[in-house]
Structure 1
């Protein structure tokens, strides 16, 4: 499969072309801290293992269309089953048809679909664990890390209150930012491992493909979860997916606005930023999911 190269502001293999030649002491310290954190979190954070009795589990990377995809899929399901769709996409009502596993179910007879940004533990890929506790089918949505980082920084830049270059360097301990390059590496590596070992049960979709053809993406999710929705239901979901419509369905009582108008923000990568990001990915990323981060594909390219 050819690498993805959706981001028009980036040339293929750009990150690899800007790799630093040697690692500085701070990078060595960051790498060690990150490795120890991964071993700890992925060994003992077993929360995702609790949730098994679901028709499907939608897993999205941070800033990879979570609200948008949930909103469209909720409307498709609501249209098929004749129930009211969520009123808003950014408050608790957005979880009525697809939500956090702990969220109450107003329609117990409908398929049970969960949504999360969760990073799976090592145990989820073990065959003997899956025989004991059969997990639901997962649909995992990924996005080019360069666009993901810009989107996250633009949303939280006032809270972070640091230059973009500081944010690109990130925090290997995972304390400073909602999401950064180190979080992305954890997410991509763990779900890449799962998808590589259990491809039938794990559907990987690219956010960029969703942007090009949202109906196709919704159909693939529905088929993977074995939801008996019709094409007319998919069309009903796509029909409400524009930014203009979604901005009219943001809860006015919530300050955080997940949907930003197109063109908002002026963040961009410098050559030093690309070198920093390229170094992190080169040293730690095992699965590139088909994006053009490196000259040669790595791991699961789905």
Structure 2
């Protein structure tokens, strides 16, 4: 399958967006962009605001009662219906009549600088993919070799960039780096976008629960063990020489939207 064929398949054959109308808000995240962290903080804030138990862990399964899969049944009926996904939306999301018919919800689109995503993903999954850094950067146009690479990121960036350009008020773009700088502000912004009134006390508790030290005490023993991985090399080291040449070439070839990032400058966060 060529890259163009994979793009067509993503844009026209993924009908999961049709399930989104059942929700009050939808969290869409690019991979390795602080998904578990964001979900855990928001779940704690929801739990404290609505008087339900906090999640025991920050694993995907532990967070499903608060921000679940689109196919999950509600666990706490008093909570707003929220879901999350890494989905690349169907072309239907570009058309006003289809959006109205599907009652698409407001989206919080959480992204991170692609350099940091790639470095984090390789550090996390190197034991599984078993390729060196430069080989990984070359990517797989067919989308079969890696869970996430530059080709996947381009497909995600371009589709959500298209939807955001057409319906900017429906999407709140959230940068991981800004969340690192002001997690409370990000939680407040997402809550406003979804018309959810989180209490100030719940927001304070969520930020406290979302520190790396606090989350290290909430690791699910039955979940994947490497969510809180730590990369050893700096982005400046990783994206230099031939590796930077590979990365820059792919970016110029594949990306049509930047979602607010300077692709060629490593982030500081």
TM (norm. structure 1) is: 0.83
CA distance in 2 between counterparts of 1:237 and 1:143 reads 21
- Computed over aligned residues only, the root mean square deviation of the Cα atoms, in angstroms, reads 1.6
Match of 2:29 in 1: 60
Task: Measure how far apart 1:294 and its partner are.
Answer: 6.2
Counterpart of 1:266 (choices 225, 230, 233) is 233
The answer to whether residue 215 in structure 2 is matched with residue 218 in structure 1 is no
| Deviation larger for 266-275 or 190-199 | 266-275
Equivalences for residues 145-160 of structure 1 within 5 A: 145-160=114-129
What secondary structure sits across from 1:172 in the alignment?
coil
Structure with larger Rg: 1
Task: Measure how far apart 1:224 and its partner are.
Answer: 0.2
CA distance in 2 between counterparts of 1:291 and 1:144 reads 7
Task: Measure how far apart 1:165 and its partner are.
Answer: 0.3
What secondary structure sits across from 2:187 in the alignment?
helix
The answer to whether residue 201 in structure 2 is matched with residue 232 in structure 1 is yes
Structure 1, unmatched stretches of 5+, are: 1-31, 296-302
CA distance in 2 between counterparts of 1:232 and 1:94 reads 20
Of structures 1 and 2, the one with the larger relative CO (CA 8 A, separation 6+) is 1
- For each residue in 1:19-75, what CA deviation from the matched residue of structure 2 results, as whole angstroms up to 9, or x when unmatched? xxxxxxxxxxxxx92122101221111112222111100001100110000000000
Task: Give aligned pairs, total.
Answer: 262
What secondary structure sits across from 1:162 in the alignment?
coil
Match of 1:198 in 2: 167
CA distance in 1 between counterparts of 2:50 and 2:9 reads 43
Task: Measure how far apart 1:96 and its partner are.
Answer: 1.2
TM (norm. structure 2) is: 0.93
Task: Measure how far apart 1:172 and its partner are.
Answer: 0.8
What secondary structure sits across from 2:26 in the alignment?
strand
Match of 1:175 in 2: 144
